[in-house]
Structure formats: structure tokens, C-alpha cells
Amino acid sequence: MEDFTLLFFRVTLVTAFLAAAAYMVHFVAQGKQVRTIARVLMILSGVLQSGYIVLGFAIAGHTPLTSQHDAVVFFAWSTSIAYLSFRWRYSVKNFGTPVSLMIFLLLLVASFSHKSFAPLPPALQSVWLPIHGGVSLVAYGFLTLAFCGSLMYLLLERELKSKRFGYFFARFPSLGALDQLNHHCLLAGFAFLTVGIVTGSLWARQAWGTYWQWDPKETWSLITWCVYLVQLHQRLTVGWRGKKAAAMSVLGFIGVLFTLWGVTYLLGGVHSYAR
Amino acid sequence: MPAEKLLLLGVNHKTTPLAVRERIALSGGYEQPLATVKGLPGVKECYLLSTCNRVELLLVMEPDSGVEERVVEFLFSGRVAIAEADQYLYRHYGRAAVQHLFKVAASLDSMVVGEAQILGQLKEAYRHAARNGTTGPLLNKLLHKAFSVAKRVRTETAIGSSAVSISYAAVQLAKKIFGHLRGRRVLLIGAGEMAELAAEHLVGQGVDEVVVANRTLARAVALARRFSGRAVSMEELVAQLQHVDIVISSTGSPDLVLRRDEVKSVMRRRMNSPLFFIDIAVPRDLDPELITLDNVYLYDIDDLTSVVEINKSERDREAVKAGRIVEEETLKFMNWYGGVAVTPTIQALKRKLDDIASQELERTLAKMPGLGEAERQQLARMTDAMVAKILHDPLMYLKSESCAGRDRSDAKITLVREVFGLGSDDHEA
């Protein structure tokens, strides 16, 4: 079974790579055929990631979230789902390129740590695990999209302001579309993040008898949450948008990454993944 | 000589300065000049195109009828000396005329290559010519072909997608900033021609409202009415900034019209929603420091020109493709044209021999009243066979050239017509 799981993961990884490569080719050459291929590969990659998670669930008997490998795969899957859910409603020119690259990179990171087949420690055997862990990682998925959109915004804005219309000018979507995308992804990501933190707190009350115990991961997700809260507040009250909002999204995403990895590797605590 | 000649002559923005074109421009509409040209002896078909960038006449004429010079005289009608006119005028014959027409239709000869307007102007001109009956079978075919060439170029190349002009560049930048332009509002500061053109482009892209501010309010009102917008005075400028998204400034003012601090104060009230400024005035109207404000984008005429340059290089690649299509279609048309010139000659030749045969047969039969029906039919069959055999070689001679170049087929047609004494009357059969 372990061999089959590994094979399945590799196929998923290769598909994600091909999707990213096809999007890259499309980005450079702007051909319509390549775009169609890239889209199909992207959807296929999303389906395979879903399949891999279902497979993990079938083997372990619980949602695979507890190891570094599983969490990062779930993160990649959330990003795919967030992207496809957006793609369904409106398209943003060439947005697939950075997102497919992010998904591939996440899966690549996951490939460096092995899938754990060890039984779940008793503290984690709870219905809260998929709710708290899953929702938090779905939030990360949307925040990843906001990050990608923000990077594109910053690059394009720089070209427009410096009046040197180069490579990105022809290829990127409009600033308006990127800003709107950032806004939507931020709203969705922030909502999921809030639910993730609240459910985590409820679970902590149930498991340890206290809502909040300043575990490093709790602290850092609170900091990240505050960064997004400030951005959202400013946007809704004084119309912070564009460059400032994009810069804040990038900052928030660094917080996300630190919460995910920095905490595990540098600070430890109850959220550290079994490695 | 039997074959008619195709001639295209005219002036355009490349060969002729505006001052001269103005004197040629036919202001009285198409009807009168078309009738005049058609009335000239030796003109069989004619068509006239007159736009602000070009005046072109396309003629099917009798060769050596001297009509060419009379047409030139008519075109300049004494307003420009003929000697001077010759340096501006281009004349294309036959194949070159076809190619030029196709190029014009495909917008490869336009000032703004790839712009779509010219095809509409061409169709309009053709409607006039057709309604006045000045076009015939050849020009009808040729112009319809020109329309389809233009369509083919448009669908098979991207030449129209990056049309090159300042106002197009403005629209492109606006789209890069806002996405789509539906529901956006434009403020024109100064009611100059360039601003008007840019506004027209923006309205074409779905811009919602046009507000015009001008020193003389009357001009502002007139321009605003054109776009069914509203006019405001220059004093209200800063207040108006709160409600618009795109500002095009083109006043003749020697000083700045808007300063950074004024715009900065507005941005807060706008909830930072983006403002896009285009300064096409020389000297500039807008504070160059505006660009340092967040969510404010400012471009002057030079910046727009650099966008145009990007589009140009892209478009040049497409123009090569379009040129190849024109070349190909010209060749196809000339092959068809060569074919039709041969056909009437063949028909005339056949008719002539058939006439001779039937006349002679009748005369002979009249002298031989004693012949029975069977003998009469034998004789008729004999003359038919003789005609067919005599015709065989000249027909082969004529037909062999229908896929060769036009010039050789001309010479052959001439030879056959002269040898058999075919008048030019038969030619249009």
C-alpha cells in the first residue's frame, strides 16, 4: 500500500509540474492551444490531489493533516480548489501561471518529507482535527491566491508608474482586476482563517481545558490574522487598495508561511508536525 | 488594341502634403465627379474614393485614348499646376493597381495601419459608384474582391488588434489600469481636437459619461453635447475630480492646471479609487509630481508615444503576414482577369466564323434548288466541321496563355483580333 501511495503522489507531483510548465509556456508565447492544455492539466492536478487526500483518509482512517507532508499536500490542494473555484466565476488573465507554480512548489516541498503511516496520537483523535486543520489550510489556499495576485499587482504597478512598458505590461491582467481578485481572496481567506482560529480555540478548551495557551503557533497565527485584519479594516474604511493592500498581502503571506514552517522548525510547541 | 486597361491614380498622405490634398478634396460629394469622369471618352468604368487621407480614382479605360491626361486634369482642375501635380500623383496599371487597391482595403496603406475605418469608406464609395452606374463587370468584381481581401486580412492576422495611435494608446493604458471601461467617467480639460478624439475612443469602449471643462464655456457646452455629457467651468475642476476616473487635459495654458496637493486632497475623498491622467498639452497642464501619489497614474504625450512604439513593432510583424495575403489575392485576381479577357475574344472569333459559314451556306443553297433535305444537311455539317477545324488552332493559341502573365495574353489577344479582323465592338459581348 505504501508503494502505491508513493506512486500516486509522484504522479500528482509530475502533473502539477506539467501544469506549471504549460502555464509558463503559455505565459511566454501566449498561445491559445497551450492555454487549453494548461487548464486541463491544472484541473487534472486538482483531481489527483483530491484523490491523494481521499486515499490518505482511507488508509489512516482520519483526515491526513498531522504530518508535515500531509499538511503541505493539503495546503496545495486548498490552493488548487481556491483557484478553480475562482476560475469558475471569473477569469483573470494569466493568473494560472503563478498559482500553478505555487502549487507545484508546495507539492515539491511535501515530497521532501515522507508520508507518516504512524497511528494518530490520542490528543489528535477528534472530530475537531479535520475542522480546525482543514479550515485553516483552506484559508491558506485563498491567502496564497491573494499573495500571487499581489505580487503581480506590484510588478505591473511598477511598470505603469515608471512608464517603461515591458514584458509584464502585455501579459498581466489589469490593475483593477488584480486588486479585485486580491480583495475577494482576502475576504474569503480571512473568513476561513477566523473560523480556523476559533475552532482551534474551542478544541483547545475541550482537549486541554483552556481556550488559549500562547502556543507559538497560536501566537503567530494571531499575528498573521491581525495583519489581514488591519488591511481589511483599512480597505473598508479609508479605501486602502492597490499598492498598499498588495504589500500588506505579501506581508501577511510571509506570516502564513512562518506560522506553517517557522513555528514547526524554529519554535516547536504542540502544533509541531511529526517529522 | 482590344484589351482595356486598369488604371489607379491618386494622391495620399504619403505622397502629398495636406495643403495640396485640401485643394483636391472633392467636397461636393461623389455624384458629380463620378458623372464627369464617366463622361470622358475612353472611360468604360470608374470608381472614386475620397477620404481625408487620400483621393483615388480607379478606371477601366480604352488604352491609348488619351483619357489618362484628361482625368489628371479633371482631378486637379486647374487648382494645382499639372507639372507640380505629377510629383504627387501615383499611377498604377493592371496588376499594380489591383495590389494597391487591396492594400488600401486591408488598411496597410493607412496612416494608422490596421485601423478599420477605411474599409467602411471604401464600401461607401463603392455604393455611390454602383448607384450611379459607373462601375461595370470588372470593377464590381474587383471591389468585391477587395472587401473580401480586407476581411481575410482582418481574420487571419492580428493587424487590427494593436492599431497605432495616441488615442488608442490612451484606451489601452486605461484598460490596463481599470480593466474594462464600462461605467467610468471622463473629464476633458480643454476642448481640443486631440482630447475630442481620445474621448471618442473612450466612449466607444463603454465609458459612461463625459464631462468637459473649458475656459470658454460655450465650446465646452458644444463638445459636451456631442457626447451627451455635461459642461463645467474651470473653477469646478478640483471638485469634479471626485466623480471622474479618467482625465484628459489639453489646454493651451502656459501654467499647470492641476497640482499635486489639489489631487492629493481629492484622493482621500475618492476612497483612493484610481485616477488616470493623460496630459496631451504642450506645455504640460498637469503637475508631473502627480505620479508620486498612490493610485494616481499620469502620462504625457511622450509616454503615450512609447506605448505606440510597442504596438508598432507588434503590428509590423502582422503587416508582413497581411502583405503576403494581399500578394496572393492579387495573383488570384489577375489570373481570373486574364481568363475573362480571353473569353470574349474566343466568343467573337467563333461568332464571326459561324456567321461566315451560315451566310455562305445559305447563298450556295439558294443556287442549288434541286437538293434534297439529306444533301442540305450534309453540306451544313461540312461547313460546321470546317469552322471547327479552322477555329482549333487559334483557340489553342489563346487558351494556352490563360495561366500566363497578363502582358503576354494581351499581345496574343491583339494578334488574334487583328488577324481575324475582330472589331472592338464585339469585345464587350
CATH of the domain at B182: 3.40.50.720
| B309 assigned to some structural domain | no
pLDDT of residue B162: 55
pLDDT of residue A66: 82
**Band of the pLDDT at A186, cuts 50, 70, 90?**
very high
Q: What is the average pLDDT score of chain B?
A: 83
pLDDT at B298 > cutoff 90: yes
Inter-chain residue contact B294 with A242, CB threshold 8 Å: yes
Contact by Cβ (8 Å): B150, B172 = no
Co-location of B50 and B138 in the same domain: yes
Co-location of B270 and B356 in the same domain: no
Is B303 near chain A, with CB under 8 Å?
Answer: yes
pLDDT at B1 > cutoff 50: no
pLDDT of residue A268: 67
Instruction: Count the domains in chain B.
Output: 3
Closest CA of chain A from B236, distance in Å: 24
AA identity, residue B81: A
| B314 assigned to some structural domain | no
Listed residues B134, B156, B178: the one ending a domain? B156
pLDDT in tens, A69-91: 999 999 999 999 999 988 767 77
Using the Cα atoms of residue B350, residue B353, residue B355 and residue B357 in order, give the sign of their dihedral.
negative
Most confident of A186-195, A208-217, B137-146: A186-195
**Band of the pLDDT at A272, cuts 50, 70, 90?**
low
Using the Cα atoms of residue B40, residue B42, residue B45 and residue B47 in order, give the sign of their dihedral.
negative
pLDDT of residue B50: 85
Concatenating the DSSP letter of every residue in B129-181 gives: HHHTT---HHHHHHHHHHHHHHHHHHHHS-TTTT---HHHHHHHHHHHHHSS-
What is the distance between the alpha carbons of residues A138 and B160, in angstroms, rounded to a whole number?
A: 44
Co-location of B141 and B102 in the same domain: yes
Averaged pLDDT for residues A236-263: 89
Whichever domain contains B53, its CATH number is: 3.30.460.30
Question: ipTM value of the model?
Answer: 0.84
Which residue ranges make up each domain of chain A?
1-63+91-120, 126-275
| B307 assigned to some structural domain | no
Listed residues B269, B294, B319: the one ending a domain? B294
What is the distance between the alpha carbons of residues A90 and B233, in angstroms, rounded to a whole number?
A: 41
Give the total residue count for chain B: 429
Nearest to B107 by CA among B149, B141, B142: B149
pLDDT of residue A242: 83
Averaged pLDDT for residues A4-22: 94
Q: What is the average pLDDT score of chain A?
A: 89
pLDDT in tens, B348-377: 888 899 999 999 999 998 888 888 889 889
Q: Is A3 helix (H, G, I), strand (E, B) or coil?
A: helix
This prediction has a pTM of: 0.67
Q: Is B15 helix (H, G, I), strand (E, B) or coil?
A: coil
Contact by Cβ (8 Å): B170, B304 = yes
Listed residues B131, B156, B181: the one ending a domain? B156
pLDDT of residue B425: 42
pLDDT of residue B85: 79
Most confident of A114-128, B97-111, B308-322, B328-342: B97-111
Q: Which residue has the higher pLDDT, A269 or B378?
A: B378
pLDDT of residue B184: 92
Q: Is A27 helix (H, G, I), strand (E, B) or coil?
A: helix
Co-location of B240 and B275 in the same domain: yes
Which of A175, A182, A233, A243 best tests the B interface by mutation, with the highest count of B CBs <10 A? A175
- Across the A:B interface, residue pairs with CB atoms under 8 Å apart total 51
What is the span of the domain harbouring residue B144?
5-156
Angle between helices A32-60 and A2-29 (to 10 degrees): 160
pLDDT at B404 > cutoff 60: no
Helix (H) or strand (E) holding B111: none
| B300 assigned to some structural domain | no
Co-location of B175 and B149 in the same domain: no
| B181 assigned to some structural domain | yes
What is the distance between the alpha carbons of residues B56 and B47, in angstroms, rounded to a whole number?
A: 8
AA identity, residue B136: G
Contacts of A241 in chain B (CB under 8 A): 272-273, 295
Averaged pLDDT for residues B251-266: 89
| Portion of chain B with pLDDT greater than 70, in percent | 91
Q: Which residue has the higher pLDDT, B388 or B111?
A: B388
Contacts of B268 in chain A (CB under 8 A): 238
Chain A residue with the nearest C-alpha to that of B309:
A165
Co-location of B261 and B192 in the same domain: yes
pLDDT at B344 > cutoff 90: no
pLDDT of residue A45: 96
| B401 assigned to some structural domain | yes
Averaged pLDDT for residues A98-119: 88
Is B307 near chain A, with CB under 8 Å?
Answer: yes
Which of B162, B176, B270, B314 best tests the A interface by mutation, with the highest count of A CBs <10 A? B176
Averaged pLDDT for residues B176-187: 90
Q: Which residue has the higher pLDDT, B274 or B415?
A: B274
Averaged pLDDT for residues B65-70: 81
Q: Is B52 a catalytic residue?
A: yes
Closest CA of chain A from B257, distance in Å: 21
Averaged pLDDT for residues B409-417: 74
Q: Which residue has the higher pLDDT, B76 or A199?
A: A199
**Band of the pLDDT at A193, cuts 50, 70, 90?**
very high
Nearest to A226 by CA among A258, A194, A195, A274: A194
pLDDT of residue B401: 52
pLDDT in tens, B85-141: 788 889 998 889 999 999 999 988 877 777 777 888 899 999 999 998 898 878 888
| B224 assigned to some structural domain | yes
| B323 assigned to some structural domain | no
**Band of the pLDDT at B402, cuts 50, 70, 90?**
very low
Inter-chain residue contact B310 with A156, CB threshold 8 Å: no
Helix (H) or strand (E) holding A32: helix A32-60
